[in-house]
Chain A
Amino acid sequence: EPEVTQTPSHQVTQMGQEVILRCVPISNHLYFYWYRQILGQKVEFLVSFYNNEISEKSEIFDDQFSVERPDGSNFTLKIRSTKLEDSAMYFCASPHPGQSGETQYFGPGTRLLVL
């Protein structure tokens, strides 16, 4: 299975602090996705990113969130001022280029805990 990597694996932060979650998606592909999973709940779509622009965002993805591709390979999700309810698992996903169906392969996730 194609590899998507994410850092850090765990992050603990104080409420109101900024966090940056990083993802290295499958190389040479233009589509990237961020999903969130609050403990015990389903996986929810946050944002999709295509060709260096946001292509769609959910109602969860409000002004405190932003995504960037700062160096052409890494893909970051920034939360500007974290809230307690931002505590969740954050997944980056990327389709494998050349495969039909654009199956999305998930990174191992970043477990964010906001205190």
Chain B
Amino acid sequence: AQTVTQSQPEMSVQEAETVTLSCTYDTSESDYYLFWYKQPPSRQMILVIRQEAYKQQNATENRFSVNFQKAAKSFSLKISDSQLGDAAMYFCAYRSANLNSGGSNYKLTFGKGTLLTVNP
């Protein structure tokens, strides 16, 4: 079974600065997807960024980028120019890419999350 580990329960950053959130995972599969979701106080789960394991290029979405190290099974999230609205819980998640009947391998496995505080 796959596991996802977020070793930083809490992180803080000054507004306009850069912060990196860590995520490692364990899998025996070669093809999979990795995600970062943001959960603000409203508790809505919002997709931040996605990475396909077969792609060597790191995904980028505006101020959000990842450092994907497949051999090390590491998937960190970098937030540049941090804004007050970035304050939230951030969850790293894993999803298999293996095709089987019923899509049962498509479930997401989440880490425990990192609570990010942005200081003005």
Query: Which A residues fall within an 8 A CB radius of B?
Result: 1, 30-31, 33, 35, 37, 41-45, 48, 50-51, 53, 55-56, 89, 91, 93, 95, 100-106, 108-109, 111
Give Cα A105–Cα B108 distance, bound, in whole angstroms: 11
| Cβ–Cβ contact A43 & B102, under 8 A | no
B94-120 vs A, CB cutoff 8 Å, 1 = contact: the mask equals 010000011110111111110000000
Interface range, B side: 20 to 34
| Cβ–Cβ contact B104 & A42, under 8 A | no
Interface with A: B20-28, B43-51, B67-75, B76-84, which one? B43-51
Give Cα A95–Cα B33 distance, bound, in whole angstroms: 13
| Cβ–Cβ contact A50 & B103, under 8 A | yes
| Cβ–Cβ contact B44 & A56, under 8 A | no
**A-side binding surface: helix, strand, loop or mixed?**
strand
Measured CB to CB, the closest approach of chain A to B62, in angstroms, equals 14
Contacts of B104 in A (CB 8 A): 48, 50, 55-56
A48-B102, A53-B102, A109-B43 known; A103-B35 Cβ under 8 A: yes
Interchain CB contact (< 8 A) of B95 among A91, A102, A105: A102
Give Cα A55–Cα B105 distance, bound, in whole angstroms: 9
| Cβ–Cβ contact B108 & A35, under 8 A | yes
Contacts of A45 in B (CB 8 A): 107-109
| Cβ–Cβ contact A111 & B112, under 8 A | no
Most buried by A among B45, B93, B106: B45
Give Cα A31–Cα B37 distance, bound, in whole angstroms: 20
Measured CB to CB, the closest approach of chain A to B22, in angstroms, equals 15
* New contact pairs (18) apart from A55-B101, A102-B95, A109-B45, CB-CB < 8 Å: A1-B46, A30-B103, A31-B106, A42-B111, A42-B112, A42-B113, A43-B110, A45-B108, A45-B109, A48-B103, A48-B107, A55-B103, A56-B104, A56-B107, A93-B45, A101-B50, A103-B33, A108-B44
| Cβ–Cβ contact B113 & A89, under 8 A | no
Contacts of A105 in B (CB 8 A): 47
